[in-house]
């Protein structure tokens, strides 16, 4: 399944807009970006057994931020287009997978690890 860059970015934006306000409202110092493919450095974060890196959260999770947290660069969530296109066969699958990936990466921001997120379907 292929999407234009604009379609992909728009789908990510819609997924973000679908996050309940009580969670969106506490996202602080975090940006969301899209990229065509992960870099070699980003691929190095892929957990053993994974074949595609769909998204990546880089930063200081909310529960680890102390009173000394401040003056730091924003956290970044990156959603990768190419891996999504390779694993999705239909537009509906792609939209759903992007939604799940966005939720998964925001889950990391809130301090949840991969095991927890996978156990809950993300």
Mean pLDDT of 88-117: 95
pLDDT value at position 97? 97
Question: What is the set of domains in the chain, with CATH numbers?
Answer: 5-45+52-62+74-119 (3.30.2010.20)
pLDDT greater than 70 at residue 84: yes
What is the pTM assigned to this prediction?
0.91
Tokens of 98: 């992007």
The average confidence (pLDDT) of the chain is: 92
For residue 77, give the 3-state DSSP assignment: strand
Eight-state DSSP code of residue 55: E
Percentage with pLDDT > 90 across the chain: 66
Residue 107: the pLDDT is 95
Round to whole Å and give the CA distance between 89 and 33.
23
71 bridge partner residues? none
- Rg (Cα) of the chain, in Å, rounded? 14
The string of pLDDT tens digits covering residues 20-73 is 999 988 888 899 999 999 999 998 888 655 689 999 999 999 888 888 888 888
């Amino acid at each position: 399944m292929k999407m234009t860059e604009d379609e992909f970015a728009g789908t990510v934006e819609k997924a973000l807009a679908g996050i309940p306000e009580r969670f969106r409202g506490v996202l602080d110092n975090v940006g969301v970006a899209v990229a065509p493919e992960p870099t070699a450095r980003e691929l190095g974060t892929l957990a053993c057994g994974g074949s595609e890196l769909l998204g990546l959260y880089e930063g200081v999770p909310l529960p680890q931020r102390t009173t000394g947290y401040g003056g730091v660069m924003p956290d970044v969530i990156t959603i990768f287009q190419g891996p999504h296109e390779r694993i999705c066969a239909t537009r509906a699958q792609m939209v759903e997978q992007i939604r799940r990936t966005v939720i998964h990466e925001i889950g990391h921001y809130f301090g949840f690890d991969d095991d927890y997120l996978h156990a809950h379907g993300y």
